[in-house]
Amino acid sequence: MLWDVPRVSEEHLNARREQILDAARACFVAKGLHSTSMQDLIKEAGLSVGAVYRYFKSKDEIIAAIAETVTGGIMQHIETVAAQRLPLAESMDAVLVAIEIQMGPGGHLPIALQVWAEAAIDPAIAAIAKDRYVKLRGALQLLVENAVDSGELPEDTDVAAVTSAYYSLVPGFALQRMLTGTPDKDSYMRGLRLLINR
């Protein structure tokens, strides 16, 4: 008689995957991206070597998965903001709400800062960063397109150029805040509104 081999549920697989990613985040925050080895991640996850490698073949794959989770969440937030069709300054204010959350306890921007640094010297990490940030810039273009549609920006606006400048406000805010502790979002937005309204 043949017995059915019990299948591992999707929930179990997802839980194991998140367990590994949580362990990776903890290691990256504690030891740094560059100094963390796969052995460190495996030990932190409390799983066997085979269990971890079943989900991720390398540290780069883990970094890519973390980056995708973070950027995916921010992109969804941007799409929600875009659906409100707010003026550009108000849209940026709303986008920075998600960025502030990622700077708080358990947030991922401290890891993102390490990814940016590693991207300068590691081609594999550079490719991951480029992919995720090009996607984020594309999401922000929706907000610029809304501003053209509403008449806030001229019809002949170079949307790609404005999007590039507009997008730089997001990492600009995050980097200043993480490296210096200031400005807070309200101060940053006061300055931005003064620039936009001149």
What pLDDT, on the 0 to 100 scale, is given for residue 110? 87
What length is written for the chain? 198
Q: Contact, 166 vs 140, CB < 8 A?
A: yes
Within a domain: 13: yes
What pLDDT, on the 0 to 100 scale, is given for residue 157? 97
Pair 109, 180 in one domain: yes
What pLDDT, on the 0 to 100 scale, is given for residue 1? 45
Counting as low any pLDDT under 70, the low residues of the chain are: 1-8, 198
Within a domain: 1: no
What pLDDT, on the 0 to 100 scale, is given for residue 143? 97
Within a domain: 126: yes
Task: Identify which of 161, 188, 158, 186 has the alpha carbon closest to the alpha carbon of residue 173.
Answer: 188
CATH classification of the domain holding 44: 1.10.10.60
Within a domain: 2: no
Within a domain: 42: yes
What pLDDT, on the 0 to 100 scale, is given for residue 197? 75
Tally of domains within the chain: 2
Residue with tokens 């991951």: 128
Pair 21, 34 in one domain: yes
State CA 46 to chain mean position distance: 26
Domain containing 24 equals 7-57
Within 8 A by CB and 6+ apart from 21, the residues are 62, 65, 66, 69
Pair 131, 107 in one domain: yes
Task: Identify which of 169, 162, 139, 161 has the alpha carbon closest to the alpha carbon of residue 71.
Answer: 139
